[in-house]
Amino acid sequence: MFNNIYNTTSKSIQQRLYLQTIIIAIFLFTMICISIWTENTLTMITAIARFERTHTVSRLEAKVSLLEYIDNRNDQAKESFYTNMAITQSYNKVFSNLLVMRKFKFENEFVKILETTFKEADHNTAVIIVNRIKVLYWHPIIKELVDYADKAHRAGEKIVKLAPLVMSANNEVQISSILREIERNEAEFVSNEHSFSKRCSDLSNEIANFVSYFSITILIFSVGFVSLITFLIAKSLLQQAVKHACDLEVSRRQYRNLVEGTPDLIIRIDVDGRFVFLNHAAKEIYGLSPEECIGRLSSDFIHPEDKEPTIDAFQAFLKSGKEILKYENRLVGIDGREHHMAWSIIAEKDENHIITGFASTGRDITERKQAEEALIESEERFKMVLDGSQLGYWDWDIETNVVHRNERWAEMIGYTLKEIELNVKQWTDLHHPEDRDATWQSIQDHLENRTSAHNIEYRMRTKNGDY
């Protein structure tokens, strides 16, 4: 279904965009003819706008650098403040003196001033600006631009003079007072800056009125150009959308297989400890369906004896800053059954590193715990039987080479259990020399499955030297 929608929509969009592309071709030749005529005037407006954006960015960077210096006393920030303010002030200074420089400076010298003031201005751009100002110097808007630039320049100078005072201030009251004065001058600066921008726009509009027939052509060109770009972008976006939808479906299917295919309990809880997601294992562990668990407190299902230790472990986990909490506790389902759980818990955080919830995977280890308890109980019973029967026994862990013995074994050869070392060497050293080889051969035969048990009689040396 999605593919049908895509094919229909894609074909319709492509037909419409192809038509708009043809319109571009029709008007392209006309545009080439008139573009030369409008190029110089539009270049001047664009250059002024570019310089305007440049010094606006410089002013903002200067403010940021000043605040950074106040906070950190960073000399690099101080240098950045004066550098950016110099760029801003040079812009306003040039435009505040345009008419004066026109009267007293040669054209080449004026061009040179523009080139050295604005690093991004090439020679041709500077020449175009000079030529246009020569033509438009009489226009009232040019005079207003000069006035706004002059006012902005004076406000900027005040900010530059106040900067050393706030940089050298030692208390918060003084810093706040100077910063308010700086902000007042900055507001005046911004106001003139905005007025400058607005009058630049007005100048652009008035020039456009003189070349209205050029504007119509530019509009057609713009529509065609935008249509071409729209076509290319739309085609790319549609292709990406289809691929993304397919990838997303595959990802969702893999996620469902992973989450619903595992026997482990997978849950997500919010910062209040309430369930927001559970997989199918919730039915087995909690005795409720995932839908019935949503909104319930996860702590309601923790065994009463494990609640406080679980809370303590959670708090220690949050304070530690670790990525994963490994923990075991018991849960009690709605049906009263207990489950021993082994948890892996991860804190979920937003882009500000604030915890928004927790994702947990819990494995039911009830059978393992029961087996461990049964083993412990069996070992305790075995020990009681041995102790009651007055038999000595030894247990050799071949991998670790540790030999465990009971108290009776040590007593039988005159030692206490503390005097017996947990190794094989002392054991073999106590063998009668004539029995040692036969004893080890019996052990080797059993290890190689040639006998069902290690069953042999041999002599051992007692503490007093007898056998």
Of 25-39, 60-74, 134-148, 452-466, minimum mean pLDDT range: 25-39
Q: Name the residue with higher pLDDT: 427 or 184.
A: 184
Highest mean pLDDT among 46-50, 130-134, 138-142, 445-449: 445-449
Q: Give the closest residue to 344 by CA, choosing from 330, 361, 366, 329.
A: 361
Of 132-136, 146-150, 286-290, 424-428, minimum mean pLDDT range: 132-136
| pLDDT digit string, tens, across residues 97-151 | 666 665 655 456 666 666 665 555 567 766 766 666 665 566 677 777 778 778 8
Highest mean pLDDT among 174-183, 195-204, 302-311, 364-373: 302-311
Q: CA 362 to CA 444: how far, in whole Å?
A: 45
pLDDT at 301: 93
Q: What is the mean pLDDT of residues 15-28?
A: 64
Asked if pLDDT for residue 6 goes beyond 60, the answer is no
pLDDT at 432: 85
| pLDDT digit string, tens, across residues 369-422 | 888 887 777 777 666 666 666 677 777 777 777 877 777 878 888 888 788 776
Q: Which amino acid is at 125?
A: T
pLDDT range class, residue 4, cuts 50, 70, 90: very low
pLDDT range class, residue 209, cuts 50, 70, 90: low
Which of 378-398 are b and which e, b meaning 16 or more Cβ less than 10 Å from the residue's Cβ?
Answer: eeeeeeeebeeeeeeeeeeee
Asked if pLDDT for residue 356 goes beyond 80, the answer is yes
Q: CA 321 to CA 315: how far, in whole Å?
A: 10
Asked if pLDDT for residue 236 goes beyond 80, the answer is no
pLDDT range class, residue 454, cuts 50, 70, 90: confident
Q: Dihedrals φ, ψ of 451, to 5°? A: -130, 155
Sorted by where each starts, the structural domains of the chain and their CATH numbers stand as 14-227 (1.20.120), 262-369 (3.30.450.20), 390-467 (3.30.450.20)
pLDDT range class, residue 3, cuts 50, 70, 90: very low
Asked if pLDDT for residue 214 goes beyond 70, the answer is no
Q: What is the mean pLDDT of residues 209-219?
A: 66
Of all residues in the chain, the percent with pLDDT exceeding 70 is: 66
- What distance lies between CA 303 and its chain's CA centroid? 36
Token pair 């080449």 in the structure block, residue: 108
pLDDT at 72: 82
Structure tokens at 109: 């010298």
Q: Give the closest residue to 129 by CA, choosing from 153, 90, 95, 96.
A: 95
Judge whether 286 and 295 are in contact, CB under 8 Å. Answer: no
Q: What is the mean pLDDT of residues 275-291?
A: 90
Judge whether 464 and 412 are in contact, CB under 8 Å. Answer: no
Name the DSSP class of 29: H
Asked if pLDDT for residue 1 goes beyond 50, the answer is no
pLDDT at 213: 65
Q: Give the closest residue to 144 by CA, choosing from 74, 195, 217, 191.
A: 195
Asked if pLDDT for residue 8 goes beyond 50, the answer is no
pLDDT at 211: 63
- Residue 459 burial (C-beta neighbours within 10 Å; 0-12, 13-18, 19+): middle
pTM recorded for the entire structure: 0.38
3-state secondary structure the chain: CHHHHHHHHHHHHHHHHHHHHHHHHHHHHHHHHHHHHHHHHHHHHHHHHHHHHHHHHHHHHHHHHHHHHHHHCCHHHHHHHHHHHHHHHHHHHHHHCHHHHHHHCCHHHHHHHHHHHCCCCCHHHHHHHHHHHHHHCCCHHHHHHHHHHHHHHHHHHHHHHHHHHHHHCCCHHHHHHHHHHHHHHHHHHHHHHHHHHHHHHHHHHHHHHHCHHHHHHHHHHHHHHHHHHHHHHHHHHHHHHHHHHHHHHHHHHHHHHHHHHCCCEEEEEECCCEEEEECCCHHHHHCCCHHHHCCCEHHHHECHHHHHHHHHHHHHHHHHCCCEEEEEEEEECCCCCEEEEEEEEEEEECCCCCEEEEEEEEEECHHHHHHHHHHHHHHHHHHHHHHHHCCCCEEEECCCCEEEECHHHHHHCCCCHHHCCCCHHHHHHCECHHHHHHHHHHHHHHHCCCCCCCCCCCCECCCCCCC
| Residue 345 DSSP SS3 | strand
Q: What is the mean pLDDT of residues 75-79?
A: 83
Q: Give the chain's mean pLDDT.
A: 76
| pLDDT digit string, tens, across residues 159-183 | 888 888 888 877 888 878 888 888 8
pLDDT at 235: 74
Asked if pLDDT for residue 24 goes beyond 60, the answer is yes
Q: What is the mean pLDDT of residues 208-229?
A: 67
